[in-house]
Amino acid sequence: MLRVTKAKKKTKADDAEKLARRSVIDTALAMSRSGLSPGRSGNVSCRWKGGMLITPTGMAYETLKPRDIVFITAKGTLPGKSLRKPSSEWRFHLAAYRARPDMNAVLHTHSLHATVLACAHKPIPAFHYMVAIAGGKDIPPVPYDTFGTQELADHVAGGLAQRNACLMANHGQIAIGKDLASALELAHEVEVLAEQYSRLLALGGEPHILPDEEMARVLERFKSYGQRAQGT
């Protein structure tokens, strides 16, 4: 009898992990379908058992099975036999979870317009009130460093300590969320804002930037109404 109960518990835990692995795949597929990750760029993770579950390196999202998603511990180690190698960017995913204990999902892409601005080292200023969706009055780029390095992870952690999304100089963008759906939605918002701002710059002349007091008011309203109530 006792053995049966134990077996059932184990199955439940296994199911929960399989579900989390499946959610990472579904988010990666949704990212790809929405055009946010040109040329197979990008990677997705969610917090799991103190560490994280992250997409593997060099595999098309369409071919991924739950067992292909890689578990990495909080210390950055791969326990046991891992079937796949994690995304080469796993260090900044882990750094994001350390910097933001309140967040549970990380999404990174080289989405077109965010990457264009990141390569110009241009922050997205408060040209539109929706910029506040990233948690501040602008969406700044974090400094460049070689992909896969701890130095880059440190820069990303520094940026995400201040915002829920950042541009990454000469690289792309990163967005975090309470869950995978929120991180994906934020990455999409950042890309839309980046496209709008790029087009505004192309018009020439000085863009009209909202003053800090107004952005502080918008940030307050986002807090009280929740992010989903902003779409007016």
Positions marked active-site: 89
Handedness of CA 153, 218, 120, 196 (dihedral sign): positive
3-state SS class at 16? helix
In this structure, the number of other CB atoms found within 10 A of the CB of residue 17 comes to 16
d(CA 212, CA 16): 44
**Closest by Cα among 195, 154, 150 to 36:** 195
d(CA 163, CA 157): 10
Q: Which DSSP letter does residue 71 get?
A: E
